[in-house]
Amino acid sequence: MKINQFANQLIPGCQPLTELAHLRLLATDELETCQPKELWQRLLWRVDCNGTTDAQHELRLHDYLATPSMALDEWLANDQPITDEIFARVALQLLDFEPALDFSLADPLTDAQGMNLQLPTYELWNQAAVARGFYQLLLTRTKHGQTWLDYLTGQGLLTWTYQLPAKQKPLLVNGQPIACFDPHQFIYEVVYVEMDHDTDFDGQADLIKVEIMRPADSNHGLKVPTVFTASPYNQGTNDRWGEIITHDVNQPLTHLAPDHQASQETKFTNPQRCQAVTGHAQVATETFSNTPGYTLNNYLAPRGYAIVYAAGIGTKDSDGLQTCGSPEQTESMKVVVEWLHGIRHAYTDRTSGITIKASWCNGNVAMTGRSYLGTLSTAVATTGVPGLKAIISEAAISSWYDYYRENGLVMAPMGFQGEDADVLAAETFSRTKRPADYQRITAINQKYLAQMTKAQDRASGQYNDFWRQRDYLPHVKQIKCDVMMVHGLNDWNVKPSNVKHLYDRLQSLPGDHKLILHQGEHIYINAFPSLDFSEMVNLWLAQKLWEVDNHADQLLPNLIVQDNVKAQTWTAYDHWNAPAHQVALGEEIIQFSDRQPETQYQQWCKDPGQWAKALLGQTNRFSYSIPLTALQSDYYQGTPHLSLTVQSSLDHGMISAYLVDRGAERRLTISPTMIERQGIQLGYHWQTDDLRDFKLQAQPSDYKMISFGHANLQNPHDPEFAIDLAAQQWVTVEFDLQPIFHHLANHHHLELVIFGTDYQMSLRGNENITYQVDLSKSSLTLPF
Amino acid sequence: MKINQFANQLIPGCQPLTELAHLRLLATDELETCQPKELWQRLLWRVDCNGTTDAQHELRLHDYLATPSMALDEWLANDQPITDEIFARVALQLLDFEPALDFSLADPLTDAQGMNLQLPTYELWNQAAVARGFYQLLLTRTKHGQTWLDYLTGQGLLTWTYQLPAKQKPLLVNGQPIACFDPHQFIYEVVYVEMDHDTDFDGQADLIKVEIMRPADSNHGLKVPTVFTASPYNQGTNDRWGEIITHDVNQPLTHLAPDHQASQETKFTNPQRCQAVTGHAQVATETFSNTPGYTLNNYLAPRGYAIVYAAGIGTKDSDGLQTCGSPEQTESMKVVVEWLHGIRHAYTDRTSGITIKASWCNGNVAMTGRSYLGTLSTAVATTGVPGLKAIISEAAISSWYDYYRENGLVMAPMGFQGEDADVLAAETFSRTKRPADYQRITAINQKYLAQMTKAQDRASGQYNDFWRQRDYLPHVKQIKCDVMMVHGLNDWNVKPSNVKHLYDRLQSLPGDHKLILHQGEHIYINAFPSLDFSEMVNLWLAQKLWEVDNHADQLLPNLIVQDNVKAQTWTAYDHWNAPAHQVALGEEIIQFSDRQPETQYQQWCKDPGQWAKALLGQTNRFSYSIPLTALQSDYYQGTPHLSLTVQSSLDHGMISAYLVDRGAERRLTISPTMIERQGIQLGYHWQTDDLRDFKLQAQPSDYKMISFGHANLQNPHDPEFAIDLAAQQWVTVEFDLQPIFHHLANHHHLELVIFGTDYQMSLRGNENITYQVDLSKSSLTLPF
């Protein structure tokens, strides 16, 4: 087991002693009046939250071993001095690591080092050393994916802080707010923010429902910052409607006529009228009980951050239509930030015209969330809206073209064949959950959706106005807030190109930009014992939102990457990109046929995983594999690029490539494994999270696909400009593969696999096409 | 979608109106002063928990459709009378069923019937009808697996009840306590109960740690009943230690010598001394923050039940060793009941000798839990301990021989090859979590475990003294409490024979005995939209523990069985057992060889699922299949019995049989599918549960194994008495297969598959044995 803590770097001068005193763990005179061992015992008694009597505290110490054979209470009574080893042995037990399983009682110091734990060592364990060492231990992670302080907080250590005057909060430890806000006293409110557009054609500016959970202290003179999650899913989804309109992908690619023009999407108008203001309320009059939460937000809530959710246009209790990533959807989230920042109206309800201010907010807002939620964080950031100080965008789309299309091809996120912008719009249009409201809007929504289906243009797969409206990349230069990005290197849903494009553009902008690349798929990373992501966020947001001078921008690495060979290994880097090297692919002209026997085709359509196994696991006639055994680098980092000179036997075609790591190995699982259900206490009698992490596979696998790319032969250089194409015409197609940050294990090699139809992602018409590739006029460019 | 409510049968006379008044939903004069439509509107406004202003309430009604095209608020303002159809249409929306998806707006009455919902109908919808209809709706289940009342409770409807004087509680609706106890005010306490035995040989009577969560009202004059879950897992588990000592099953069965005698297990002695009482405390001095909970308990907690957990001997913070089902483990749980009932000492801590009483308890206790937890409920019930009024034993073991052995064979629970009593003891011995305590007890525990390994006698698989000590069936006649059993017909971990043996014996005893058979594996059933299990439990426990005169014993069916053909169909029956019919198997002598090629053997050992596919999915040489196509019954219910005349080519052998349902069908999944994560609110801002249910498989399957049995040829009649056996000696072996309650779909037939080694459950030595079966001297007895 390895613990990687990046947010725990600050142990300067007197701070530990002052903060222990603030935590009521150390009295001012104790450094003078107590012997070191007595002080240690007092500290240990004070953090024993479950016992209240001396007998109970005493017995607790009787449960720990100070030496391999002597209990801590007995050892504390003898006259032996504290040593690094004694302290480490007890420390590991306090952190819930188990003797024999997690560390050896004989040599705890070495084992702690092996676990990557920074335990205190001192020449002389005097009183100050004991206090500092204890403080350092409070900031160290237990086996359960939390610092010891947070673990003790879950046992009730900090309940006394709930009663402190609001203005003394938040209490900070090591630059981070601690859980000193009573979650049982949270205030739950709903307000409606008015935006500038009318997206449901009723003549009225759209109202957006906002759900707020904030500490009671924010009613008593403490202005708190806000963490806002924009989630179109939050008011419910229409999974069945989505299934019904999912597109059939078992159809051929077609020749694109040079004069092809996609249909324009519906334009929205400015509203004829806004709500007339009739008065002002000091307190909200609508409440809510539960909303689907993000556990990171639940972790932050008792640390004093107000937590806000909005689902935006086209959702239950809001106005408007679902536009799937359009500027209007972005606006519907931006206006929430504006209200929190004090520069926009909100109302207590949808009809009365009574306004209400976010007077409890300090005006500083961060946005959080994964996938669509992270996407909208990015989108709102590109508006440069005042008040938005930071975003944590996880697995976020930076251009919807990169989500549903690729180089002139319709290309589904893996696992979601047939999904498109219109399907996602239908799935998230939760006004269905209010039957009469839905009845009134049905015809308008159907008409809008039908137009969206045309404008997204599945017939051509070209980059067009529809996708330009949903491309945030041209607006990245307007980003004014700090940005923390998180993305999975195995995320084939929102593919890594999305974060790479954003990351690259941010490099030339001022501001604090962080990126964490993990080895998972489309997941959250805030429940791993091996990485202190929650603490990093708490530290970082303390700087951005509470304006604490904690140097988070400098302390946290700009890039952290999880190693794909070694488990639980997270490493700081300066840059993603390495120099490009061009790799020759061969001298021959190769060919393969895309056509499959009908039963094979049907089977693979039903179970595309079988196709992937046939592609990579065995010799076949529908692909060509090039082992890149001459390459010698251990690390490949950046965006591979492919230049292929190809011809199709028909007047249209697609060329696809997988980059594969070959070599028998117990690789990391790409989905985290459950370690302890509800194992993480996010506060005292508050929400929980399931502790989980990546593990090495039980059985070795022979290969792993690490990157891919696909291109339409009619889009050799640009997804927006198609060339005409004749059957058997040679064309040189240039395209990027998905960016990588890959550790190639010993005795492994990379392999490039070239083929046509991708059963997991592309259209699959089983056409009788033969592809030829002239390898002498083709090359792969790899970054290392 | 089908909803099955068994606990919602009581709508007599004035009760609905009185209870609506108690719920503060109806004022005394409103039946006289309001028109029916006005009354309906008032009731709807009052349950709108999120809005506080008229405008908000009004808007909420504007969201429902009264007719297919008119909103409820508009319709309420016109002069049309309420009809069954109007009420049903609105009711279905209030219950969150969706128009078009779940029901048609045009004909809500027919669709409600199809969903099995009992919606109110009246000749004349006068004021009383509106009130009664509304009351009935409160008791009807929403789409989200809860009654509408419980759903509204999750939104805050009942927070005002928290302030009621303790003695007015619990508030009852339809004979069930409602959630009127504030979960944020729960008291969390730890005490230590002293038992009569000393199981860790320290001379001292063992102390057992007890964790209590109870409403604050129980400190203010209200005596509450207790729901107690005895869980050896609750203080942590040693999964790694368990793995290490898991037995190797890849070894041959051996010939059992007629004079074989198993080793005796270690006997415990009476303690030399008990704790000396030094004083008495009114309040506990130790607390706890979190303990792994059962969501059914969390549902019951805000309804006024104290919730208690204990892990028993050999667990963290308790004394003793892990004995895996022995009478001493039962005693360690029985003493908790005795303390709750006021007839045994407990202490505030482990050393001070200060006693504490459960003065807050009304002396009535029920035990709950699944698997080992349910097992201990059954075990404690067989002691006849005073105070234990009821148990809800889910997927419980009734004899540990039936868990780890079968008819003279070592037979693992499916999925747990190599596990045995000693492995489970090691896994649950959580004194490891207190390193110094573990250090002090390690040698004693190792010695005890080693003796257990001998006494359980994997070499023979015979029923012996060890297993007799862990067989609760001979003691069933001492059960004095009422019993509710729950078991999965596809539970191949704790197999259905366990519940069948208990059920059969209970039939001749007085008392209230209920059984629910579901189509799942080893699971909990309290989160299905299709079954009101939580409400059944609440109703039943109200009678047993609160002593409410609600006729729960008569209202709830004695036997409820989930249909295996139709989804979401739960049916009441009177008896499990049907008459036995003997079925001839053929005239030939058949033979098959148990030996597999080495690579095949290795592969199947690694992945026994592949072996099961080979056994049932294709023709093979290691089994013999007999299609029972002549059978004509639709339902088979009871215990199949097999009589096989067999010989082995060696002087030992095992014979196995699977009963299979053949026929292509989209069968029910045996694991529930997630419907809505955290979709069930168990109270207001309290714990949640994930909504899930069984669904029909997406793709048809050709067959399904529905029962099985295995026997050692040396135990033809009795697992306790082995015969000598020579190679090629004919022997007639008699054994039961697992009990069934099976609906055979149209055009399906049953099939009996006979074979030797069961790679999923038995030892597997890949011996060169040929088995012969004389079908003319064999028969299958089936109940139908």
A517: pLDDT confidence band, cut at 50, 70 and 90?
Answer: very high
Residue A89 lies in a domain: yes
**Distance in angstroms (rounded) separating the CA atoms of residues A374 and B623:** 56
Partners of A101 on chain B (C-beta within 8 Å) are 240-241
Nearest chain B residue to A153 by CA: give it: B289
Indicate which residue of B341, B513, B522, B743 is catalytic. B522
pLDDT at residue number A767: 97
Mean pLDDT of B471-500: 98
Beta carbons of B285 and A93 less than 8 Å apart: no
Partners of B351 on chain A (C-beta within 8 Å) are 55, 58-59
Residues A201 and A134 in one domain: no
Beta carbons of B351 and A684 less than 8 Å apart: no
Catalytic residue status for B522: yes
pLDDT at B269 over 90: no
pLDDT at residue number B632: 87
pLDDT at A274 over 90: no
Beta carbons of B289 and A155 less than 8 Å apart: yes
For strand A361-370 and strand A388-394, is the pairing parallel, antiparallel, or unpaired?
A: parallel
Nearest chain B residue to A433 by CA: give it: B98
What's the token pair of residue A334?
């931006």
Beta carbons of B351 and A59 less than 8 Å apart: yes
Distance from CA of B172 to the nearest CA of A (A): 23
Nearest chain B residue to A685 by CA: give it: B289
Partners of A55 on chain B (C-beta within 8 Å) are 349, 351-352
Partners of A154 on chain B (C-beta within 8 Å) are 289-290
The residue among B159, B176, B193 that closes a domain is B176
What helix, strand, coil percent values describe chain A, rounded to 5?
Answer: 30, 25, 45
Residue A370 lies in a domain: yes
Give the tens place of pLDDT for each residue, A688-742. 999 999 999 999 999 999 999 999 999 999 999 999 999 999 999 999 999 999 9
**Distance in angstroms (rounded) separating the CA atoms of residues A332 and A322:** 11
A·B CB contacts under 8 A: 138
pLDDT at B274 over 90: no
Identify the domain containing residue A170 by its residue range: 16-176
pLDDT at residue number A10: 66
> How distant, in Å, are the alpha carbons of A303, B364, B718 from that of B26?
42, 34, 66
Catalytic residue status for B332: no
Residues B480 and B595 in one domain: no
Partners of A352 on chain B (C-beta within 8 Å) are 53, 55
pLDDT at residue number B14: 86
Give the tens place of pLDDT for each residue, A519-562. 999 999 999 999 999 999 999 999 999 999 999 999 999 999 99
Please tell me the total count of domains within chain B.
Answer: 3
Nearest chain A residue to B67 by CA: give it: A436
Of A689, A693, A715, A626, the closest CA to residue A662 belongs to A626
pLDDT at residue number A47: 98
The residue among A149, A176, A203 that closes a domain is A176
Residue B249 lies in a domain: no
pLDDT at A329 over 80: yes
Distance from CA of A363 to the nearest CA of B (A): 26
Residues A113 and A217 in one domain: no
pLDDT at residue number A46: 98
Q: Any idea which residue has 């689902």 for tokens?
A: A311
* Degrees, nearest 5: CA angle A348-A352-A358: 20
The amino acid that residue B585 corresponds to is L
**Are B394 and B369 in contact, with CB atoms under 8 Å apart?**
yes
Residue B248 lies in a domain: no
Distance from CA of A654 to the nearest CA of B (A): 32
Indicate which residue of B217, B319, B491, B594 is catalytic. B491
Interface probe, candidates B144, B434, B602, B676, chain A, greatest A C-beta count within 10 A: B434
* Degrees, nearest 5: CA angle B277-B280-B283: 135
> How distant, in Å, are the alpha carbons of A34, B588, B644 from that of B776?
89, 6, 9
pLDDT at B676 over 70: yes
pLDDT at A12 over 70: no
Distance from CA of B167 to the nearest CA of A (A): 25
**Distance in angstroms (rounded) separating the CA atoms of residues A704 and B294:** 40
pLDDT at A269 over 90: no
The amino acid that residue B2 corresponds to is K
pLDDT at A11 over 90: no
The CB density around residue B614, as the number of other CB atoms within 10 Å, is 18
Indicate which residue of A491, A532, A689, A774 is catalytic. A491
Residue A558 lies in a domain: no
What's the token pair of residue A276?
């007339």
pLDDT at residue number A463: 97
From the list B71, B154, B436, the residue facing A436 with the nearest CB is B71
The amino acid that residue A716 corresponds to is P
Nearest chain B residue to A53 by CA: give it: B285
**Distance in angstroms (rounded) separating the CA atoms of residues B727 and A201:** 88
pLDDT at A492 over 90: yes
DSSP B165-234: -GGG-S-EETTEE-S-S-GGG-EEEEEEEE-S-BSSSSSBPPEEEEEEEE-GGGGTT--EEEEEEE-TTT
Strands (E), B311-372: 346-347, 354-356, 361-370
Residues A160 and A189 in one domain: no
Across the strands, what pairs with A743? A635
pLDDT at residue number A300: 98
Contacts of B618 (CB under 8 A, 6+ apart): none
Indicate which residue of A501, A522, A710, A748 is catalytic. A522
Mean pLDDT of B688-716: 96
Residues B607 and B482 in one domain: no
Residue A143 lies in a domain: yes
pLDDT at residue number A757: 98
Mean pLDDT of B473-482: 98
pLDDT at B621 over 70: yes
The residue among A176, A191, A217 that closes a domain is A176
From the list B65, B289, B349, the residue facing A56 with the nearest CB is B349
From the list A52, A71, A348, the residue facing B285 with the nearest CB is A52
From the list A56, A156, A350, the residue facing B289 with the nearest CB is A156
Residues B194 and B166 in one domain: no
Nearest chain A residue to B75 by CA: give it: A436
**Distance in angstroms (rounded) separating the CA atoms of residues B214 and A164:** 28
Mean pLDDT of A604-624: 95
- Of the given ranges (A158-162, A265-269, A621-625, B573-577), which has the lowest mean pLDDT? A265-269
Partners of A69 on chain B (C-beta within 8 Å) are 439
Partners of B286 on chain A (C-beta within 8 Å) are 50-52, 56
**Distance in angstroms (rounded) separating the CA atoms of residues A8 and A555:** 9
From the list A51, A99, A286, the residue facing B56 with the nearest CB is A286
Residues B368 and B471 in one domain: yes
Interface probe, candidates A49, A60, A63, A278, chain B, greatest B C-beta count within 10 A: A63
Residues B227 and B188 in one domain: yes
Residue A572 lies in a domain: no
Mean pLDDT of chain A: 96
**Are B309 and B288 in contact, with CB atoms under 8 Å apart?**
no
Beta carbons of A99 and B55 less than 8 Å apart: no
Residues B331 and B386 in one domain: yes
**Distance in angstroms (rounded) separating the CA atoms of residues B543 and B545:** 6
**Kind plus residue range of the DSSP H or E element containing B93:** helix B84-94
Contacts of A476 (CB under 8 A, 6+ apart): A382, A398, A502, A505, A506, A509
Cα dihedral value B40, B45, B47, B53, nearest 10: -170
**Kind plus residue range of the DSSP H or E element containing A631:** none
Residues A486 and A605 in one domain: no
The interaxial angle of helices A372-381 and A327-340, nearest 10 deg, is: 70
B10: pLDDT confidence band, cut at 50, 70 and 90?
Answer: low
Catalytic residue status for A371: yes
Looking at chain B, the number of H-run helices and the number of E-run strands are 22, 31
CATH number at residue B690: 2.60.120.260
Partners of A685 on chain B (C-beta within 8 Å) are 184, 289-290
Q: Any idea which residue has 């492994």 for tokens?
A: A748
What helix, strand, coil percent values describe chain B, rounded to 5?
Answer: 30, 25, 45
Give the tens place of pLDDT for each residue, B367-381. 999 999 999 999 999
Residue A360 lies in a domain: yes
**Are A282 and A389 in contact, with CB atoms under 8 Å apart?**
no
What is the percentage of chain B residues whose pLDDT exceeds 70? 100
Beta carbons of B56 and A289 less than 8 Å apart: no
- Give the single-character DSSP code of B341: T
pLDDT at residue number A599: 96
**Distance in angstroms (rounded) separating the CA atoms of residues B711 and B722:** 11
**Are B123 and B83 in contact, with CB atoms under 8 Å apart?**
no
B727: pLDDT confidence band, cut at 50, 70 and 90?
Answer: very high
**Are A371 and A683 in contact, with CB atoms under 8 Å apart?**
no
Mean pLDDT of chain B: 96
**Are A543 and A748 in contact, with CB atoms under 8 Å apart?**
no
Partners of A52 on chain B (C-beta within 8 Å) are 285-287
pLDDT at residue number A225: 98
pLDDT at residue number B28: 83
**Distance in angstroms (rounded) separating the CA atoms of residues A175 and A551:** 9
Residues B171 and B190 in one domain: no
Mean pLDDT of A88-95: 98
CATH number at residue A367: 3.40.50.1820
Residues B60 and B201 in one domain: no
The amino acid that residue A588 corresponds to is E
Q: Any idea which residue has 């033809």 for tokens?
A: B716
**Distance in angstroms (rounded) separating the CA atoms of residues B281 and A82:** 38
Q: Is the peptide bond before A120 cis (omega within 30 degrees of 0)?
A: no
Nearest chain B residue to A189 by CA: give it: B50
**Distance in angstroms (rounded) separating the CA atoms of residues A745 and A492:** 22
Interface probe, candidates B74, B89, B98, B318, chain A, greatest A C-beta count within 10 A: B98
Give the tens place of pLDDT for each residue, B71-115. 999 999 999 999 999 999 999 999 999 999 999 999 999 999 999
From the list B50, B292, B435, the residue facing A64 with the nearest CB is B435
Beta carbons of B190 and A286 less than 8 Å apart: no
A273: pLDDT confidence band, cut at 50, 70 and 90?
Answer: confident
DSSP B141-182: B-TTSSBHHHHHHHTTTTGGGGGS-GGG-S-EETTEE-S-S-
* Degrees, nearest 5: CA angle B305-B309-B315: 175
Give the tens place of pLDDT for each residue, A226-249. 999 999 999 999 999 999 999 999
